[in-house]
Structure 1
Amino acid sequence: MNDLYVLYRGPLASCNYDCPYCPFAKKVDPPDLLRADRADLERFVGWVTATTDRRLSILFTPWGEGLTRSWYRDAVVRLSHQPHVARVAIQTNLAARTGWLADANPQVAALWTTYHPGQVTRERFLARCRELDTLGIRYSVGVVGFPEHHAEAVALREALSPGVYLWINAAEGHVYTSEEETLWTALDPLFGDSVRPHPSLGRPCHAGETAISVLGDGTVRRCHFIKTPIGNLYDGSWRAGLQPRDCTNSRCDCHIGYVHLKPLNLRDVYADGLLERIPGLRPGKSLLQIQQRPPVSDRQA
């Protein structure tokens, strides 16, 4: 069965946090937009359920916080029980309750979580993580690598279960000294993939071939960062739109984009944890060994 990674983003843009670095902080969506977002998501879930000739892996990447909305929780649970869905994951700040995940298939459902110091106490965030541990739900935890967040990130790493991967996103606009990069890499051996934008123009990418980005109205793009449509889910034109492609952007600096660049070989690094950002460690291989793979310039396209 052919594998297809699908990143879905509906019109939802509201969030319960007001992070100073986020343009969607504390945004409130009007009722008509929420109704439209719910209808769009339910239509998408219907498409996933009916599209059984592909093995699908779904990542919800809402601009806002999705898990405070019942329809996103329902979608994760429902899709986790579809036999042709290999993974369903969502990016979340983990502010919402987690008990609903008891109804999900823990072999399929997963969370990409982010800890935001200043928006929630470390103790409250860690309590949510312990709930996920009890439920047996796969999850990663991330922090934006601002200098003022480093002490919190260290404390978080010490308190998390040893098997939980802690990733660090390079802060937009911050130039890291070699000393800073070393400090963050001690927490996340894969930080080097985030700290420098990846040259991508003309480089082959899985996006548009075995990975797509979908908007609420069904518009299919190769990825979130190239706006040209390649088809639509609901008229079937997405099928003809899938083909090998080289990137048309000069660089790629977001994980959900560059993870699909073929020269980086990051699908081998993350394996079945690709969507929830959990490295797939094979027997006898450590994150340190993954970190020591050849630099991007030395990897073959």
Structure 2
Amino acid sequence: MNDLYVLYRGPLASCNYDCPYCPFAKRVDPPSLLRADKSDLLRFASWVEETTDRRLSVLFTPWGEGLTRSWYRETIVRLSHLPHVARVAIQTNLAARVDWLSTADLSVAALWATYHPGQVTRERFLARCRQLDSLGVRYSVGVVGVPSHYEEAAALRSALPPSVYLWINAAEGHAYSADEERRWTALDPRFGDSVRPHRSLGLPCHAGETAISVLGDGTVRRCHFISEPLGNLYDGSWRAALRPRPCTNITCDCHIGYVHLKPLGLRDVYADGLLERVLPAPTSSAVSLPFPVARGNVVPGR
């Protein structure tokens, strides 16, 4: 069965947080947009159900916070029980309750979680993580690597189980000194992937071949960062457009984009944890360290 990674983003843009590094902070969607988002998502879920000729892995990447909306929670549970869905995951700030995951197939459902210091206490965030642990949910946890977040990120790493991968996204517009880079890399051994944009122009990429980006209206693109459409999900026109192709952007600086660049080999690094950004257990365990630690030479998403 052919594997296809699908990144879905509907019109939802509202969020309950007001992070200074996010343009969608504290946005409130009008009821009409929320109705449209729900309708689009349910249509997409029906397409997933009906598309049984491929093994599908789905990542929801809403601009806002999806898990505060019942239709995202219900859709994740629904898709997790489909035999041709290998993974269904969502990017989330973990502000919403997580007990609903007890009805999902936890060999399929997973979370990509981000901790935002200043928006929630570490204790409250860790309590959510402990709930996920007790339920047996696969998840990763990340922090945006602004300097003021370092102590919180280090404390979070110490408090999380060694098996939980803590990733750090380089802060947009921040230039990291060699010492800063080593410091953050002690928390996340893959920080080097995020700290500098990857040259991508002309390089082969899985995007547009075995990975696609889907908008709420069904527009299919290679990825979130190349606007040229490949077709529409619902008329089947996207199928004929899938093929190997080089990247047309000069650089790629977001994890959900560069993880598909073939020369980086990150699909092999993340294996079946690719969409939820979960590293295989041996690597995850290796990052449970005393802090602060500097380690060797160093070779964003939400």
The TM-score range, normalised by the shorter chain, is over 0.9
Q: How do residues 1-301 of structure 1 correspond to structure 2 at under 5 angstroms? A: 1-281=1-281
**Cα distance, 1:9 vs. partner?**
0.0
| Counterparts of 1:88 and 1:282, CA distance in 2 | 23
SS at 1:143 equivalent: strand
* Alignment check: 8 A CA contact 1:281 1:287 kept: no
Q: Distance in 2 between matches of 1:240 and 1:90?
A: 28
Cα shift at 1:281: 4.8
TM-score (norm: length of structure 1): 0.94
CA distance in 2, matches of 1:251, 1:162: 33
Q: Residue deviations 1:165-188, cap 9 Å, x none?
A: 000000000000000000000000
In structure 2, relative to structure 1, the CA distance for the partners of 1:122 and 1:75 (3 Å cut) is same
Which structure is richer in relative contact order (CA contacts within 8 A, separation 6 or more)?
2
Separation of aligned partners in 2, 1:241 and 1:69? 33
* Contact 2:162–2:287, Cα closer than 8 Å, also in 1: no
Distance 1:282 1:165 in 2: 10
Q: RMSD of aligned C-alpha atoms?
A: 1.8
Q: What secondary structure is seen at the aligned counterpart in 2 of 1:13?
A: coil
Unaligned runs of 5+ in 2: 289-294
The question of whether the paired residues in 2 share the 8 Å contact of 1:166 and 1:187 is answered with yes
Distance (Å, rounded) in 2 between the aligned partners of 1:234 and 1:286: 44
Contact 1:269/1:281 (8 A) holds in 2: no
How far apart are 1:286 and its partner, in Å? 5.8
Kindly state the Cα deviation for residue 282 of structure 1 after the two structures are TM-superposed: 6.6
- SS of aligned partner of 1:248: coil
Runs of 4+ deviating beyond 4 Å:
285-288
In the alignment, the residues of structure 2 paired with residue 197 and residue 22 of structure 1 have an alpha-carbon distance, to the nearest angstrom, of 19
Three-state SS of the structure 2 residue aligned to 1:181 is helix
Equivalent in the alignment of 1:299:
none
Structure 2 length as normaliser, TM-score?
A: 0.94
The one-letter amino acid of 1:97's match is R
Residue 279 of structure 1 and its aligned partner are, at CA, apart by 1.4
| Shift in alpha-carbon separation, 1:116–1:286, aligned structure 2, 3 A | closer
Any stretches of 5+ residues in structure 1 without a counterpart?
296-301
- Asked if structure 1 preserves the Cα contact closer than 8 Å seen for 2:221 and 2:230, the reply is yes
For residues 175 and 18 of structure 1, what CA distance do their matches in structure 2 show? 23
